[in-house]
């Protein structure tokens, strides 16, 4: 097709850039032109991309989305998955109508994305503060319940895996929670300290849980159980604080 996709300035390896370009070209050729927009988002569009570990997230806005149009994407998607390319397909209407249900997700996408092809649909999206506050509280309280359930149903085992698996989503919620009481989203590098200051918890607790996610730390059972208890208390404190935000 001769279409170019600007991936300059990203931290993607050369072979990954080529894979993204190949995928986008194949998708446009196979889709019979229902695609409105292709956007790179997530860590691949930011500085925290980790070669070999991070997915390459692409938001693909197309209309219509049905079995016929999806069938045309199967071959390009299958080939792209070996390169950790993770496409997210959505129609323009579903995108606009999902902002109140998934405000944190789309705020994160909108915060750092790169338009690769088509119309810049994300630029005009407005995400309301009250939707963010409600969703932030819901996600935080849900994590607290899952932590309790995991301990009971798992017999107190695999605590480090449970904490490490969920902490990145919690930290994203914390960025939003901080922004609700202060101007702007804190950076991902500063969010732990900013949230600890805003909500009055020990930053060291959350840093230890993050180390479990990145497999930078191994804790004996007794220490892991103590951290699990501290983490549940921290999550509960944040949920209560978010509930009280005007």
pLDDT in tens, 79-126: 999 999 999 999 999 999 999 999 999 999 999 999 999 999 999 999
Question: What letter would DSSP give residue 102?
Answer: S
Mean pLDDT of 229-234: 98
- What pLDDT score does 30 carry? 87
- 10 Å CB burial of residue 108 (0-12, 13-18, 19+) is middle
Mean pLDDT of 6-23: 95
- What pLDDT score does 2 carry? 56
State the DSSP H helix or E strand holding residue 115, giving kind and residue range, or none if neither.
strand 113-118
Residue 53 near residue 84 (C-beta atoms within 8 A) = no
List of residues 6+ apart from 162 with CB closer than 8 A:
146, 147, 150, 154, 228
Mean pLDDT of 36-58: 94
- What pLDDT score does 3 carry? 77
**Residue with token string 């730390």:** 217
Instruction: Give whole-number Cα distances, 69 to 72, 88, 96, 213, in Å.
Output: 5, 14, 20, 37
- What pLDDT score does 221 carry? 87
Nearest partner of 36 among 127, 102, 116, judged by Cα: 116
* Sign of the alpha-carbon dihedral angle for 113, 138, 189, 186: positive
- Distance (Å, rounded) from C-alpha 90 to C-alpha 64? 9
**Residue with token string 């915060």:** 111
List of residues 6+ apart from 150 with CB closer than 8 A:
158, 159, 162
The SS3 call for residue 32 is coil
Mean pLDDT over the full length of the chain: 94
Q: Calculate Rg over the CA atoms of the chain.
A: 20
The pLDDT tens digits of the residues spanning 174-198 come to: 999 999 999 899 999 999 999 999 9
- What pLDDT score does 26 carry? 94
**Residue with token string 């989503």:** 169
Question: What letter would DSSP give residue 113?
Answer: E
Instruction: Answer yes or no: is pLDDT of 33 > 70.
Output: no
Instruction: Answer yes or no: is pLDDT of 32 > 80.
Output: no
Instruction: Answer yes or no: is pLDDT of 1 > 60.
Output: no
Instruction: Answer yes or no: is pLDDT of 47 > 60.
Output: yes
């Amino acid at each position: 097709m001769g279409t170019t996709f600007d991936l300059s300035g990203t931290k993607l390896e050369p072979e990954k850039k080529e894979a993204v370009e190949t995928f986008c070209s194949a998708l446009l050729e196979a889709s019979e032109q229902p695609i409105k927009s292709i956007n790179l988002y997530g860590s691949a569009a930011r500085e925290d991309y980790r070669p070999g570990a991070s997915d390459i997230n692409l938001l693909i806005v197309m209309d219509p989305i049905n079995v016929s149009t999806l069938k045309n994407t199967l071959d390009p998607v299958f080939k792209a998955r070996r390169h950790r390319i993770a496409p997210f397909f959505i129609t323009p209407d579903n995108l606009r109508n999902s902002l109140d249900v998934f405000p944190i997700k789309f705020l994160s996408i909108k915060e750092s994305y790169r338009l690769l092809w088509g119309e810049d649909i994300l630029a005009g999206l407005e995400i309301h503060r009250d939707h963010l506050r409600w969703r932030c509280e819901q996600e935080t309280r849900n994590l607290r319940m899952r932590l309790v359930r995991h301990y009971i149903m798992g017999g107190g085992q695999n605590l480090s895996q449970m904490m490490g698996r969920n902490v990145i989503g919690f930290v994203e919620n914390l960025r939003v929670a901080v922004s609700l009481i202060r101007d702007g989203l804190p950076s991902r590098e500063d969010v732990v300290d900013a949230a600890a200051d805003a909500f009055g918890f020990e930053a060291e607790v959350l840093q230890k849980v993050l180390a479990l996610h990145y497999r930078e730390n191994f804790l004996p059972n007794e220490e892991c159980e103590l951290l699990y208890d501290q983490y549940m208390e921290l999550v509960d404190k944040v949920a209560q604080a978010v509930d009280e935000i005007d």
